[in-house]
């Protein structure tokens, strides 16, 4: 009789383990969460919410931003609670109320002090701002943008890229600026009003605008719960920004890049080290908090694996919101796990452009995280690329992919 008893006990343990992965109501009954589309929202203030799309297939939760899918990691589960951690950035959702088609809690950004935004989600909602409607008007694909009033010290230019889905009010796109793009935006254009949003675990972006009589768009850009600015756009198929390889350069009197920073183990690395001699090198100025850096890191890792045996080296210089070496060890682990980064990552300092520029005094500035510095086998800087236009910018991203690959290949064969 011993073996049947053991089997029964083993089966009970398995069933108990499985049931613990399902949220329960207060009377300890399993909550069957709706499977399918969910509408999530962050309450930026008492009257303004930032919506985004979620999906649940019974096992995995995903955030949807246009073509982007971000899988959430379930870290803990209680009778009436869940905790989702977002990849790369380490931010999380603390969900305190659960029923079959409603979630309530807060999003917590651990990289900022006491940064919490109320969150809720509703199952069965197949829209972001409102139910899909028939197209009511046309929307140009390319726009010249000015953020903040033009005579303001905070003013900066941009280029908007919009794609209105055929016969519907659904629109996707992005904004390019001289420091990078605003990643995957999605929303609607209805009654001459534009609404777009994106949430990727680090940045919570909301754009609103109204078409004016002259055809221009006037609106507001919100980033998280503390910052917003005015923006204005005019349709312009030839709109462009300054070339991204013209914004940062070596100061007069300097011919090479030089630095020495520690890795997560505390060991210093320098371009003078033997492993980097006579190699083609890309120095990536980045931060773990930066979504554009995340996009660039994926591309650089692809090229590192493709060209490393031929003589390509890549070094990431991480400028962090909290530049503590012990905390950086956990940060590095996230970057390697979630982005697959296998090239060296060094802790270079704090995430402040002015302070970062002091750590690399041979540069005229550090205008953007990320910035990529491409160096030939003789140690000469061949190109400095400021910012990064990622996959959400379509042909701009593809053009840069090809351009960078061609440059790497040319430098690898040059003597």
Can you give the pTM of this predicted structure?
A: 0.89
Which residues, in sequence order, are CB contacts of 142 under 8 Å at separation 6+? 159, 160, 161, 162, 235, 236, 237, 239
Alpha-carbon distances, residue 342 vs 32, 269, 279, 308, 313 (angstroms): 40, 15, 17, 11, 11
Q: 91, 331 in Cβ contact below 8 A? A: no
Architecture of domain 142-235: Beta Barrel (2.40)
Task: Read off φ and ψ for residue 18, nearest 5 degrees.
Answer: -65, -45
Q: 233, 143 in Cβ contact below 8 A? A: yes
Question: What is the per-residue pLDDT across 316-344, written as a single tens digit (0 to 9) for each?
Answer: 999 999 999 999 999 999 999 999 999 99
126 has a pLDDT exceeding 80: yes
Q: Work out the pLDDT band at 23, boundaries 50, 70, 90.
A: low
260-413 CATH choice from 3.20.20.410, 3.40.50.12280, 3.40.30.10, 1.10.3330.10 = 3.40.30.10
Strand partners, 230: 220
Ramachandran bin of 191, using left for φ above 0, alpha for ψ from -120 to 50, beta for the remaining angles: left
pLDDT of residue 19: 36
166 has a pLDDT exceeding 60: yes
Closest to 335 in 3D by CA, of 397, 290, 275: 290
CATH class of 21-123: mainly beta
Long-range contacts of residues 61-66, Cβ cutoff 8 Å, at least 24 apart: 63/199, 63/200, 63/201, 64/186, 65/183, 65/184, 65/185, 65/186, 65/198, 65/199, 65/200, 66/172, 66/184, 66/185, 66/186, 66/198, 66/392
140 has a pLDDT exceeding 70: yes
10 Å Cβ neighbour count for 182? Answer: 24
Question: What is the per-residue pLDDT across 87-125, written as a single tens digit (0 to 9) for each?
Answer: 999 899 999 999 999 999 999 998 888 899 999 999 999
pLDDT of residue 3: 46
**What's the rounded Cα separation, in Å, for the pair 347 and 324?**
9
Q: Work out the pLDDT band at 5, boundaries 50, 70, 90.
A: very low
Same fold, 142-235 and 260-413: no
pLDDT of residue 363: 97
16 has a pLDDT exceeding 50: no
Q: Tell me the domain boundaries of the chain.
A: 21-123, 142-235, 260-413
pLDDT of residue 204: 94
Q: Work out the pLDDT band at 75, boundaries 50, 70, 90.
A: confident
pLDDT of residue 56: 96
């Amino acid at each position: 009789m011993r073996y049947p008893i053991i089997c029964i006990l083993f089966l009970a343990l398995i069933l108990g383990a499985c049931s613990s992965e399902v949220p329960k109501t207060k009377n300890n009954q399993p909550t069957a969460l709706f499977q399918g589309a969910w509408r999530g929202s962050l309450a930026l203030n008492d009257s303004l919410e930032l919506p985004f799309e979620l999906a649940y297939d019974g096992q995995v939760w995903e955030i949807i931003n246009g073509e982007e899918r971000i899988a959430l990691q379930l870290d803990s589960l209680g009778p009436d609670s869940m905790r989702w951690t977002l990849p790369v950035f380490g931010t999380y959702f603390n969900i305190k109320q659960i029923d079959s088609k409603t979630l309530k809690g807060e999003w917590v950004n651990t990289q900022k002090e006491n940064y919490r935004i109320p969150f809720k989600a509703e199952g069965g909602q197949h829209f972001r701002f409102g139910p899909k409607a028939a197209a009511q008007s046309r929307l140009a694909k390319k726009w010249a943008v000015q953020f903040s009033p033009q005579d303001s010290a905070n003013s900066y230019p941009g280029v908007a890229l919009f794609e209105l889905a055929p016969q519907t009010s659904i629109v996707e796109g992005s904004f390019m600026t001289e420091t990078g793009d605003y990643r995957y935006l999605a929303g609607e254009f209805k009654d001459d009003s534009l609404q777009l949003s994106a949430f990727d675990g680090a940045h919570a972006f909301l754009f609103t605008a109204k078409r004016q009589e002259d055809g221009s768009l006037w609106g507001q850009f919100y980033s998280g719960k503390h910052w917003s600015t005015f923006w204005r756009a005019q349709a312009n198929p030839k709109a462009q920004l300054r070339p991204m390889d013209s914004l940062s350069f070596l100061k007069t009197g300097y011919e090479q890049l030089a630095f020495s920073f520690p890795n997560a183990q505390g060991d210093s690395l320098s371009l003078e080290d033997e492993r980097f001699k006579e190699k083609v090198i890309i120095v990536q100025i980045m931060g773990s908090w930066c979504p554009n850096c995340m996009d660039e890191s994926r591309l650089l890792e692809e090229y590192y694996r493709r060209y490393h045996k031929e003589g390509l080296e890549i070094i990431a210089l991480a400028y962090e919101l909290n530049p503590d070496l012990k905390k950086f060890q956990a940060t590095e682990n996230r970057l390697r796990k979630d982005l697959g980064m296998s090239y060296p990552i060094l802790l270079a300092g704090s995430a402040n452009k002015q302070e970062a520029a002091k750590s690399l005094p041979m540069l005229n500035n550090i205008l953007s995280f990320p910035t990529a510095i491409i160096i030939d086998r003789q140690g000469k800087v061949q190109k400095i690329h400021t910012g990064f236009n990622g996959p959400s910018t379509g042909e701009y991203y593809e053009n840069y992919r090809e351009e960078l690959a061609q440059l790497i290949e040319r430098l690898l064969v040059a003597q």
